[in-house]
A = this chain, B = another copy of it.
Amino acid sequence: MDLAYSAEYDDFRSEVQQFLKEHGHKSPKGRMGWGKTDDEGRSWQQLLIEHGYAARTIPKEYGGYGAEADVLKNHIIAEEFVKAKARPGHSGDPRLVPTLLELGTEAQKKAYIGPTISGEMTWCQGYSEPGSGSDLASLSTKAVLEGDEWVINGQKIWTSGAQYADMIFCLVRTEPDAPKHQGISYLVFKMDTPGIEVRPLVTMTGEAIFNETFYTDVRVPKDQIIGARGEGWFVANATLKHERGSLGDPNQLETRFGALVKMLKSEKIDGKPLIKYPAYRDRLLQLQARVLSMKCNGMRILSASIKDQEPGLCRWIVKLLGCELNHQMAALAIDAMGELGVLYEDSPYLRDYGMWQRNYMLDLGLIIGGGTAQIQKNMIGERALGLPKEPKYKD
């Protein structure tokens, strides 16, 4: 147990701080990620890549910085960027780029990785379908090889960013007679290909964060497949795992907890701050213990990752607990605010830009999305605790 950093890393931190001091003012406002792009954002990203604060471990030949993987340095970069309120750099879509690096052909890597990390080429993901949520592998969007082209027909949902993405990486069924996990292929193609229709999908928050996308005789060159035909499930899955671990970031929990405390101190009933009401305070303290324990759990994961160890259970639980905890923080904020807590959109007297109600709903979406709580518990029970799967059923 040694929470200090060695000299190498202290030096590295100083470097990052120095960089931010010099260049931080160039950072565009707002936290725009790999999904959307703008001119200002692209030149900031370029600057970060040059200094090794973005696309850090992507090889130079594909436009990255080409450093050795170092979890702690990544962590330091992330921490310092948050502190300086600078927009963090990215390494392209985190589900796509590692997949390309691992399984793409040399031509594919060359064609896609560079533009993706520079922000010239943006992506959306075509995995889920209306009929295939938890049971993703049952997806039914079809691709049939006709000559040198895949012809795609079907529908995807939850396609975030589809309205401005240049490209999509997409799972399609290419072998209709194979067992469901073995009949899928992983295709990449342009979003302006004829036959693609994008419809905004409004969620309960009132915003269209996602889309439905429809594919009618969409023709895609044969070689735009990543990995082998019929192996798309396994191509996609290596990176799905990655996504699951990344939700429920402990820094984000702490930040939100801080906002909650601040609100409870400033808002009053009959002139008395909410935090002085024991029923709210006791709930707040229960949440604080959870936030602290998730923070410690996060340090443990980081520490294991540094040593390239599999963190095990402490990583498996992050999504399940993190999303729920966020949801509960929003719930307490709403309760304590009383009638002010229901205000929304651009209402007068709106507090914190309406983030508590919005988060209360968004967090529920996150509890459901990317593996529902029930699927998470199955995985923890089966993979972490070794409990048996449900027996096979007679059809």
The residues of B that contact A277 with a CB separation of less than 8 Å are 278
Q: Contact mask A381-395 → B, CB, 8 Å, 1/0?
A: 000000000111110
The residues of B that contact A223 with a CB separation of less than 8 Å are none
Cα distance, A394 to B390, chains bound together (Å):
11
Partner of A393, one of B278, B279, B282, B390: B390
Q: Contact mask A269-294 → B, CB, 8 Å, 1/0?
A: 00000000111001000000000000
The residues of B that contact A278 with a CB separation of less than 8 Å are 277-279, 282
The residues of B that contact A391 with a CB separation of less than 8 Å are 393-394
Cα distance, A392 to B392, chains bound together (Å):
9
Cα distance, A391 to B279, chains bound together (Å):
46
Interface residues of A in 346-395 (CB under 8 A from B): 390-394
Q: Contact mask A28-55 → B, CB, 8 Å, 1/0?
A: 0000000000000000000000000000
Cα distance, A282 to B393, chains bound together (Å):
47
Closest beta carbon of chain B to A362's beta carbon, Å: 28
Q: Contact mask A2-29 → B, CB, 8 Å, 1/0?
A: 0000000000000000000000000000
Closest beta carbon of chain B to A331's beta carbon, Å: 15
Cα distance, A278 to B285, chains bound together (Å):
14
Which B residue's beta carbon lies closest to that of A285? B279
Main DSSP-derived SS at the A contact region: loop
Cα distance, A391 to B394, chains bound together (Å):
7
The residues of B that contact A393 with a CB separation of less than 8 Å are 390-394
Partner of A392, one of B279, B282, B394: B394
Cα distance, A394 to B391, chains bound together (Å):
7
Closest beta carbon of chain B to A391's beta carbon, Å: 4
Cα distance, A394 to B394, chains bound together (Å):
6
The residues of B that contact A279 with a CB separation of less than 8 Å are 278-279, 282
Closest beta carbon of chain B to A270's beta carbon, Å: 16
Which B residue's beta carbon lies closest to that of A392? B394
Which B residue's beta carbon lies closest to that of A393? B391
Closest beta carbon of chain B to A67's beta carbon, Å: 51
Which B residue's beta carbon lies closest to that of A390? B393
Cα distance, A393 to B392, chains bound together (Å):
6
Cα distance, A387 to B278, chains bound together (Å):
42
Closest beta carbon of chain B to A118's beta carbon, Å: 51
Closest beta carbon of chain B to A377's beta carbon, Å: 14
Which B residue's beta carbon lies closest to that of A394? B392
The residues of B that contact A392 with a CB separation of less than 8 Å are 393-394
Cα distance, A197 to B4, chains bound together (Å):
66
The residues of B that contact A390 with a CB separation of less than 8 Å are 393
Cα distance, A278 to B277, chains bound together (Å):
9
Cα distance, A236 to B394, chains bound together (Å):
31
Q: Enumerate 15 A-B pairs (CB-CB under 8 Å) in ascending A order.
A: A277-B278, A278-B278, A278-B279, A278-B282, A279-B279, A279-B282, A282-B282, A390-B393, A391-B393, A391-B394, A392-B393, A392-B394, A393-B393, A393-B394, A394-B394
10 A-B pairs with least C-beta separation: A278-B278, A391-B393, A279-B282, A393-B393, A392-B394, A278-B279, A394-B394, A392-B393, A391-B394, A393-B394
